[in-house]
Amino acid sequence: MRTLGQYIKPYGWRIALQMCVKISGTVIELFLPSMLSIILDEYAPVGNRTGVWEMGLGMILCAFLAWLGNCCANRMSTNISREITRKLRFDLFRKVTSLSAAQQDAATDASLVSRLTSDTYNVHNMIDRLQRLGIRAPMLLMGGIIVSLLLEPVLTLVLIATLPLLAAITVWSSRKGVPLFTRVQEGQDKMVRKVQENMSGARVIRALSRTQYERDDFGMVNDDLAARQRTADLTMAKVSPATSFILNAGLAIVVLVGAYRVHSGASEPGTIIAFLSYFTIILNALLMVTRIFVMYSKGSASARRIEEILHMPVDLQQEDAAASADREHIVFDHVSFSYNKNYDNVTYLTFRLGYGETLGIIGPTGSGKSTLLSLLIRQYDVDKGEIRIGGKPIKTLTPEELHSRLGVVFQSDFLMADTLRENIRFGRNIADPEIFEAIDCAQASFIHQKDGMLDHELTVRGRNLSGGQQQRVLISRALAGDPRILLLDDCSSALDFRTDRELRRALKERHGQATTIIVAQRVSAVMAADNILVMDKGRIIGQGTHDELVASCPMYRELCTLQLGGDAA
Amino acid sequence: MLSPRLSGAAIDAIEHEAGVQFPVVYKYVLLMIMLAAFTSLTSWALSAIMIRLSRNVVSKMRKDLFDHMTTLPISFFDQYQTGDVISILSYDVDTVGATLSTDLTQILSSLITVVGSFVMMLTIAPEILLIFVVTIPCSIGVTRWRAKIVRPLFSKRSRMLGAMNGYAEEAVSGLKTIRAYHQEEEFNNRFRTHNDNAVNATWKADHTAAVTGPTVNLINNLSLAAVSIFGALLYMAGGITLGNVSSFVLYSRKFSGPINEFANILSEIQSSLAAAERVLGLLAMEPEPADAVDVQPITDCQGHVEFRDVSFGYTADTTVLHHVSYTAEPGKVIAIVGETGCGKTTMINLLMRFYDVTEGTILLDGVDIRQLPRDDLRQQFTMVLQDTWLFDGTVFENIAYGRDGVTREEVVRAAKAAHIHDMILSLPHGYDTIVTGSGNSISKGQKQLLTIARAMLMDASMLILDEATSNVDTQTERRIQDAMLQLMHGRTSFVIAHRLSTITGADCILVMDKGRIVESGTHEELLAKRGTYYELYHAQFDRPNEAA
């Protein structure tokens, strides 16, 4: 909650002002009954018609003033909560985009989504409601207690004696409430994940006729969420009956004590009657306070979940280290890495790649090819060894240095519901002619046939393109920034051979100066490379040019035989 | 309602002329405590009932929405933002639920007070009640007028929150790429726009609704002023006693309290009506057309598939398949090749009835597939797609997903056949390792092998392999060749592959170009033709020096 406090703090004065306006509105409204009693008790019995009219008009005036005050206060509170929510949600999103891949994996996408949406919404509600109710209830409570103290201090003490009990209930409720509402939000995460899975896997689920299974499974997740919500609600629903019981019981004791006081002549029955009417105000105010606490529990459970993300340490810090005297562009120096820190996914990777050279990587599935690329662009930090670009360890590079003029295509890369132009530009400042050049090189000329060409809108995940078209849009994206480093991870798996061949030819002609790493299944895609790594089980088991590897690496030779029809050399 | 009477009676006993009547006081005090306990218990019970009721409604609503989604045509999933759907399932449904649980109870109890007070006032002074003839319609008019203004604003708020959710979900799923291109700042700025839209729409709705409550309150206060003025005047004219005026005032205050509350609740009701609109909008979406009434369940499928002059377009104005005709005999392997975007996957979409043909017919064992129950039809196929889909569950669950009651032994056998068994054993918990959505330590190729293992456990009479091994390396692909052949054995199989080496054994190869079948025949026949297939086939054996 402390972080949330920092978001609220700048609005402290505005909140104070809002509360003042709210208080004045409320107070003005409270004049009305007394003006009314003046009319009925003073003017009416003596037949003072002008007095009745004047006071009546006064009431009307007060009514309008109260209206003005309440409207203003309500609107001010919506202004304030808007600003706080705007900033909080934006900062959360900014933090999410700055998370490292490892942090993202740990938090899970579904949970990040529900924190960005449902949790920020809960916090918004809390801030908004607290402003509207937060001042009125304590004001009435304090007012009620003070007046009753003046009226009958001893009886008030009886009432005050119940306060520790009430405080205990409130503490209990927020102790219980926060974890309960946290559990609700976790249930929400699961629901989000289930929906995500079903949205992305719709085809497979139907193809496997698992619709009923998925329905049942969602039913379970849904029931679980409903049960968590019910538990939280039911627990919170105990608070106000408990509070009102304690107060009412207290009232009964007040009457009893009052009886003794009257008996001993220390008090008047009339005072006790007046005391009872103030007591109603106190009761209502307290019930409002308990409602505020319920809201607070819900809001603060969400606020904590948001803070968990906001407080994540900055991973992948930029470090200071001496540059080495590499002459090569990219150097892997005994690099080892493990995703789960249990067993290494890649072990002792060592290679050097000169400026403008091409590196091909080939090897069985799961041999660490994609991991190598992830490490190079610092999605994860290596556990052992060092990666250097241009002689500088990548840990010392600023993100700009590392990522600008980098072109990369991942396996199953990200296309969004936006125009083709935006999908290719991807936020970078790239003009249309350059985009067309990239499209041309990426063999994505099909774009010319689309309605509106670059303005053609893709649907979610680019689903209105075929697999091969998607890949070529992604390649266009990688090429559009005139990359100095180009990383292509199995990016032509959905392309037919002819297109693939044209692509390779164009790459060589137009982006020959870029240092390129190509991960591929096909020998033909890597055999022209200056250097080829053959990987297996996270290790480099062969390194060299095509001819060298044919001579030295049995696995590579086998691949050639398989794919190139026997005639390897 | 009884409580004031009890305390009154107790006070009467205190006030008794003969001094304080302690036994009576004790009696009433005890009664008060019991009453307090009783009231608290009943109010707790009441809210518990309401909570259960509304939670049931909410959960039912969510379930219905989800179930309905599973009946929607596949195009829905190709078009709708996941985040937007999530927003309907969470924000919109919850908003409706909140109204049900709290607001409805309040309205009910308010209604009782309003009617009660109204009757009391009627008995005291019907004349003054005339004031309410003016003010009540005013209140109703104001709330209705405000509701009319506020409603579209709340609709907009729901929509904008949905759009913001949609964008956030999309961006989170693309974080890896965003990081790679260092475009965090740019995407932050775009989110800023969506966020601004959402908070502004929320603000606009709340801001406008914020006036409703005080306005109705104003009318009530005005009527209070009017009541006191006219009450006083009436008293002076001798038409009423002062005591009656004061009780009238008391009742009119009682009366206006719930009306105020009602006005406040009304804005919440508006917001949940707007939310309900979105819920109903999703529920109203046309599901996949129902099976024809006279469909015959598929019994003993042979796997004879015929495309008869099939044409198809995803939208009305574009056609992606033109007059495609071919016949697949039972048990044969049909390969479909051609340049990317030529309509290969579209053929599969039609075969599975993810979409229905625009023209022509597809026949299974001589019956138009539109005359077959859709679920039955899909059950006849085992399908492995390039887009691997694994869900958040253990490796075992993911492999066993396709069929009920799969044993551990069967799963292990399938995994061994798909050459993924060793990899699974190397995972921290073997077959019980949880595969998460992002599932980093499992490579794309391994995911494909897992889905192949999944397919091996299914017994359907037909098989579809759409680039099923595109990310699997050649050696592994060769090692699973036997398993794949076994998978295809006795099944009519449709295979889409770019690696032509994997399909040379097919019984028939269809070569497609721009949505038409341009060549068909066996590998040898097509090579002999020296046409499109010949070119495609030889493209993969080219040498870099040739290419350069």
- The CA distance from B493 to B245, in Å, is 91
- Domain end: B249, B283, B317, which one? B283
Angle between helices B242-283 and B22-71 (to 10 degrees): 20
Q: Indicate whether B175 belongs to any domain.
A: yes
Residues 6+ apart with CB under 8 A from B36: A244, A245, A248, A249, A251, A252, B3
Residue A36 has pLDDT above 50, yes or no: yes
Angle between helices B126-173 and B104-124 (to 10 degrees): 170
Chain A interface test: which of B105, B178, B181 (most A C-beta within 10 Å): B181
pLDDT band at B1 (very low <50, low <70, confident <90, very high): very low
Structure-derived torsion over alpha carbons of residues A62, A63, A64, A70, reported in degrees to the nearest 10? 100
Are residues B212 and B356 part of one domain? no
Cβ contacts below 8 Å, chain A against chain B, sum to 530
Residue pLDDT, tens place only, B160-213: 888 888 888 888 888 888 887 788 888 888 889 999 999 899 889 888 888 877
Residue B246 has pLDDT above 70, yes or no: no
Residue pLDDT, tens place only, A327-354: 788 888 888 998 877 778 888 888 888 8
Tokens of B190: 């775009």
CB of A154 closer than 8 Å to CB of A266: yes
- Exposure of B69 by Cβ count < 10 A (0-12 exposed, 13-18 middle, 19+ buried)? buried
Are residues B209 and B253 part of one domain? yes
Task: Return the pLDDT at B484.
Answer: 81
Mean pLDDT in chain B?
A: 80
Residue B156 has pLDDT above 70, yes or no: yes
B210 three-state secondary structure: coil
Residues 6+ apart with CB under 8 A from A50: none
CB contact, 8 Å: B49 with chain A?
Answer: no
A487 three-state secondary structure: strand
Mean pLDDT of the region A478-496: 83
Are residues B86 and B175 part of one domain? yes
Task: Return the pLDDT at B541.
Answer: 61
Identify the DSSP state of A419. Answer: B
pLDDT band at A17 (very low <50, low <70, confident <90, very high): confident
- The CA distance from A391 to A380, in Å, is 20
Residue pLDDT, tens place only, A406-446: 888 888 788 888 888 888 888 888 888 888 888 888 888 88
CATH number at residue B263: 1.20.1560.10
Identify the DSSP state of A236. Answer: H
Shortest distance, CA A131 to any CA of chain B (angstroms): 13
Neighbours of A517 (CB within 10 A): 25
Query: Which of these ranges, B32-46, B217-231, B425-439, has the smallest mean pLDDT?
Result: B425-439
CB of B51 closer than 8 Å to CB of A234: yes
- The CA distance from A486 to B378, in Å, is 42
HEC sequence for A154-221:
HHHHHHHHCHHHHHHHHHHHHHHHHHHHHHHHHHHHHHHHHHHHHHHCHHHHHHCCCHHHHHHHHHHH
Q: Into how many domains does chain B fold?
A: 3
Query: Which region holds residue A290: left if phi is over 0, alpha if psi is between -120 and 50, else beta?
Result: alpha
> Residue A99 phi/psi, 5° resolution?
-65, 150
Residue B40 has pLDDT above 50, yes or no: yes
Are residues B514 and B485 part of one domain? yes
- Residue-range definition of the domain harbouring residue B26: 1-61
Task: Return the pLDDT at B125.
Answer: 67
CB of B211 closer than 8 Å to CB of A42: no
Task: Return the pLDDT at B481.
Answer: 77
- Nearest by CB to residue B383, choosing from A77, A207, A211, is A207
Task: Return the pLDDT at B540.
Answer: 65
Residue A487 has pLDDT above 60, yes or no: yes
CB contact under 8 A, A459 and B381: no
Q: Which of A165, A190, A191, A173 is nearest to A298 (CA)?
A: A173
Tokens of A143: 């007012």
Mean pLDDT of the region B465-470: 79
Query: Which of these ranges, A9-23, A351-365, B91-105, B406-420, has the smallest mean pLDDT?
Result: B91-105
Enumerate the residues of chain B whose CB falls inside 8 A of the CB of residue A222. Answer: 59, 62-63, 66
- The yes/no answer to whether this complex scores an ipTM above 0.95 is no
Task: Return the pLDDT at B233.
Answer: 81
Neighbours of B60 (CB within 10 A): 12
Are residues B86 and B34 part of one domain? no
Mean pLDDT of the region A375-389: 87
CB contact under 8 A, A39 and B229: yes
Q: Which of A450, A498, A506, A497 is nearest to A475 (CA)?
A: A506
Neighbours of A34 (CB within 10 A): 8
Residue of B nearest to A507 (CA): B548
- The CA distance from B158 to B161, in Å, is 5
Are residues B361 and B217 part of one domain? no
Q: Indicate whether B104 belongs to any domain.
A: yes
| Cα angle: A69, vertex A75, A79; to 5 degrees | 140
Are residues B141 and B79 part of one domain? yes
Residue pLDDT, tens place only, A108-139: 888 888 888 888 988 998 888 888 777 777 77
Q: Indicate whether B316 belongs to any domain.
A: yes
The alpha carbon of A146 is separated from its chain's Cα centroid by a whole number of angstroms, namely 45
Q: Indicate whether B295 belongs to any domain.
A: no
Among residues 322-381 of chain B, which lie with CB inside 8 Å of chain A? 337-341, 344-345, 352, 354, 375, 378-379, 381
Residue pLDDT, tens place only, B76-90: 887 888 888 888 888
Residues 6+ apart with CB under 8 A from B137: none
Residue pLDDT, tens place only, B475-490: 777 777 777 887 888 8
CB contact, 8 Å: A165 with chain B?
Answer: no
Residues 6+ apart with CB under 8 A from B154: B205, B209, B270, B271, B273, B274, B275
Mean pLDDT of the region B415-441: 77
Mean pLDDT of the region A294-304: 87
Q: Indicate whether B376 belongs to any domain.
A: yes
CB contact, 8 Å: B38 with chain A?
Answer: no
Residue B542 has pLDDT above 60, yes or no: no
Tokens of A560: 């050639």
CB contact under 8 A, B171 and A93: yes
Amino acid at B379: Q
Mean pLDDT in chain A?
A: 83
Task: Return the pLDDT at B250.
Answer: 65
Task: Return the pLDDT at B257.
Answer: 67
Q: Indicate whether B67 belongs to any domain.
A: no
- The CA distance from B379 to B403, in Å, is 11
CB contact under 8 A, A116 and B235: no
Residue B231 has pLDDT above 60, yes or no: yes
Mean pLDDT of the region A255-281: 76
- The CA distance from B86 to B65, in Å, is 11
Residue A569 has pLDDT above 70, yes or no: no
The top-scoring range by mean pLDDT among A96-100, A223-227, B231-235, B268-272 is A223-227
Query: Percentage of residues in chain A with pLDDT exceeding 90?
Result: 2
Residue pLDDT, tens place only, A56-72: 888 888 888 888 888 88
- The CA distance from A362 to A367, in Å, is 9
| Cα angle: B60, vertex B62, B65; to 5 degrees | 105
- Domain end: B37, B61, B85, which one? B61
Q: Indicate whether B298 belongs to any domain.
A: no
Are residues B220 and B138 part of one domain? yes
Q: Which of A391, A385, A387 is nearest to A327 (CA)?
A: A391
CB contact, 8 Å: B429 with chain A?
Answer: no
Are residues B385 and B327 part of one domain? yes
- The CA distance from B235 to A40, in Å, is 9
Residue pLDDT, tens place only, B357-388: 888 888 888 888 888 888 888 888 888 877 77
Query: Which of these ranges, A352-361, A440-449, A527-536, B115-124, has the smallest mean pLDDT?
Result: B115-124
Residue pLDDT, tens place only, B399-416: 888 777 888 888 888 888
Query: Percentage of residues in chain A with pLDDT exceeding 70?
Result: 98
CATH number at residue B417: 3.40.50.300
- Domain end: B251, B283, B315, which one? B283
pLDDT band at B548 (very low <50, low <70, confident <90, very high): very low
Are residues B279 and B218 part of one domain? yes
> Residue A427 phi/psi, 5° resolution?
80, -10
Residue pLDDT, tens place only, A228-247: 988 988 888 888 888 888 88
Q: To which residue do tokens 């205190």 refer?
A: B14
Q: Indicate whether B292 belongs to any domain.
A: no
A367 three-state secondary structure: coil
Residue of B nearest to A36 (CA): B228
Task: Return the pLDDT at B543.
Answer: 47
CB of A443 closer than 8 Å to CB of A498: no
Are residues B543 and B522 part of one domain? yes
Shortest distance, CA A540 to any CA of chain B (angstroms): 16
CB of A304 closer than 8 Å to CB of A174: no
Residue A408 belongs to what H/E stretch? Answer: strand A406-409
Residue B495 belongs to what H/E stretch? Answer: strand B492-496
Are residues B221 and B133 part of one domain? yes
pLDDT band at B254 (very low <50, low <70, confident <90, very high): low
Where do runs of H (alpha helix) occur along A426-533?
Answer: 432-441, 467-480, 497-510, 523-526
HEC sequence for A313-361:
CCCCCCCCCCCCCCCCCEEEEEEEECCCCCCCCEEEEEEEECCCCEEEE
List the helix and strand counts (H, then E) for chain B.
Answer: 22, 12
pLDDT band at A558 (very low <50, low <70, confident <90, very high): confident
List b or e across A345-372, with b for residues whose CB sees 16 or more CB atoms inside 10 angstroms. Answer: bbbebebbbbeebbbbbbbbbbbbbbbb
Residue B545 has pLDDT above 60, yes or no: no
- Nearest by CB to residue B229, choosing from A53, A104, A276, is A53
Mean pLDDT of the region B425-449: 75
- The CA distance from B154 to B142, in Å, is 18
Sign of the alpha-carbon dihedral angle for B519, B525, B526, B528: negative
A490 three-state secondary structure: coil
Does the pTM surpass 0.80? The reply is: yes
Point out which residues pair with A161 in neighbouring strands.
none
Query: Which of these ranges, A371-375, B25-29, B323-327, has the smallest mean pLDDT?
Result: B25-29
Residues 6+ apart with CB under 8 A from A105: A339, B436, B438, B440
First-residue to last-residue Cα distance in chain B: 95
CB contact, 8 Å: A225 with chain B?
Answer: yes
Residue pLDDT, tens place only, B338-356: 877 778 888 888 888 888 8
Mean pLDDT of the region B120-127: 70
Enumerate the residues of chain B whose CB falls inside 8 A of the CB of residue A400. Answer: 182
